């Protein structure tokens, strides 16, 4: 992989730490500002909302710009946002700073995915996307635990100071190693981009992403109570078990990218089906501590095996200048799936079959996603479009 991809991965690492590290610091943030834990948890929801809104908005605004200039601007927003988090004197200003930081998230991954595919040969495009997303998986394995420890040892603001430093480093390496590109005069008409986004294959691709990841977060949002209240682990065992989840993320991410380079549509359908199988069987695995740990790792692997195939699939369905916008919309779709899954999981626990059953309920979501994807394939076949092929080029 070219060194420019490592620069994009560095940016992805910093963004991943910012998104997830707040989960381990809610007690400290709530205590300083005198808010309840649920209220502090809104900092997570606010960030997700910022991604959903900011991804298509910033991508559309910056459409005519050279992509390197866009990436540098987004890393500046990211760095300034984290610096504002470190200084925030009130809960409201911390929330505003989090939302500002989130605006850079979706556009960075959206534009970065397009840049990554242009740095490699056509038969390695999905692997290039997966490589960039490795920064996000490593953030979960190393960055978030370290950031949580740092925040607990020296105060939660120290974590945001550290992430600000990561942002500055990423800014430097992107400026140094990502190649210059020219402006995109053909991307100036945002109406044309939106018309490309309104095509049914693109919309069905985005819906597939939302549904697939809703299933993941129906379970992952409540992984701690599942492990402690259902399986019977002690609270201290949760963090080491989540390390297994993180290792699964890395393995699934790289495997999904490699398979998608050869058989894209087959990988989309197969990875979503495997996700449904893992979620369904996890219902039985929760009766054994050993098998519960194994399936936490399998959940991570099957969840991230879908990421680069889904991203590449939506990119292929968009055309020309609309690719950056479609890519950013798909990042927003992942986050919308996260929010939807967390909400549906809560409903299933409070008003449905209960905590121990959310795994098989969650399995229904990727199965529906498979049905949506197959509908998109049939639509393309009926229209005589070539993108129904199972080959790497589609």
- Domain residue spans of the chain: 1-188, 189-394
How far apart are the C-alpha atoms of 98 and 85, rounded to whole Å?
Answer: 7
In 22-178, where does DSSP find H-type helix?
26-33, 37-61, 67-87, 91-118, 125-138, 144-154, 156-177
CATH architecture of 1-188: Up-down Bundle (1.20)
- pLDDT tens digits, 182-212: 655 445 555 666 666 667 777 888 898 899 8
| Residue 390 pLDDT | 39
Q: Burial of 158 by CB count in 10 Å (0-12 exposed, 13-18 middle, 19+ buried)? A: middle
How far apart are the C-alpha atoms of 55 and 333, rounded to whole Å?
Answer: 10
Q: Are 125 and 261 in contact (CB under 8 A)?
A: yes
Q: Which helix (H) or strand (E) holds 190?
A: helix 190-197
pTM (predicted TM-score): 0.75
DSSP-derived 3-state class of residue 275? helix
Q: Which helix (H) or strand (E) holds 226?
A: none
- pLDDT tens digits, 104-160: 887 888 788 888 888 888 778 778 888 888 887 788 777 777 887 888 789 899 999
Residues in the chain, pLDDT under 50: 185-186, 386-394
| CATH number listed for the domain at residues 189-394 | 1.20.1250.20
Give yes or no on whether 1-188 and 189-394 have one common fold.
yes
User: 56: which 2 tokens?
Assistant: 């298509």
* Furthest CA-CA distance within the chain: 61
| Residue 383 pLDDT | 65
């Amino acid at each position: 992989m070219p060194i420019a991809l490592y620069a994009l991965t560095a940016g992805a690492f910093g963004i991943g730490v910012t998104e997830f590290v707040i989960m381990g610091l809610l007690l400290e943030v709530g205590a300083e500002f005198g808010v309840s834990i649920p209220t502090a948890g809104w900092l997570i929801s606010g960030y997700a909302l910022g991604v959903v809104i900011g991804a298509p908005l910033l991508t559309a605004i910056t459409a005519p710009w050279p992509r390197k200039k866009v990436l540098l601007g987004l890393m500046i927003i990211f760095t300034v946002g984290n610096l504002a988090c470190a200084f925030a004197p009130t809960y409201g200003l911390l929330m505003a700073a989090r939302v500002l930081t989130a605006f850079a998230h979706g556009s960075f991954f959206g534009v970065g995915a397009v840049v990554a595919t242009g740095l490699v040969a056509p038969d390695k495009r999905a692997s290039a996307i997966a490589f960039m997303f490795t920064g996000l998986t490593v953030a979960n394995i190393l960055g978030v635990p370290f950031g949580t420890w740092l925040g607990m040892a020296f105060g939660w603001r120290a974590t945001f100071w550290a992430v600000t430093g990561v942002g500055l480093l990423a800014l430097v390496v992107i400026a140094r190693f990502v190649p210059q590109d020219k402006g995109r005069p053909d991307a100036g008409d945002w109406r044309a981009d939106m018309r490309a986004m309104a095509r049914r294959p693109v919309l069905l691709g985005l819906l597939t992403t939302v549904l697939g990841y809703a299933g993941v977060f129906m379970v992952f949002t409540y992984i701690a109570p599942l492990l402690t209240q259902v399986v019977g682990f002690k609270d201290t065992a949760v963090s080491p078990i989540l390390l297994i989840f993180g290792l699964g993320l890395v393995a699934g991410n790289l495997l999904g990218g490699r398979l998608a380079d050869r058989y894209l549509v087959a990988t989309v359908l197969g990875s979503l089906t495997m996700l449904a199988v893992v979620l369904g069987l996890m219902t039985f695995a929760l009766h054994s501590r050993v098998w519960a740990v194994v399936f936490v790792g399998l959940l991570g692997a099957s969840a991230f095996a879908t990421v680069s195939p889904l991203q590449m699939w939506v990119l292929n369905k968009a055309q020309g200048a609309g690719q950056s916008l479609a890519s950013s919309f798909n990042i927003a779709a992942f986050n919308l799936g996260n929010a939807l899954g967390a909400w549906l999981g809560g409903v299933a626990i409070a008003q449905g079959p209960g905590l121990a059953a959310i795994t098989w309920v969650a399995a229904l979501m990727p199965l529906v996603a498979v049905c949506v994807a197959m509908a998109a394939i049939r639509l393309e076949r009926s229209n005589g479009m070539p993108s129904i092929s199972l080959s790497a080029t589609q």
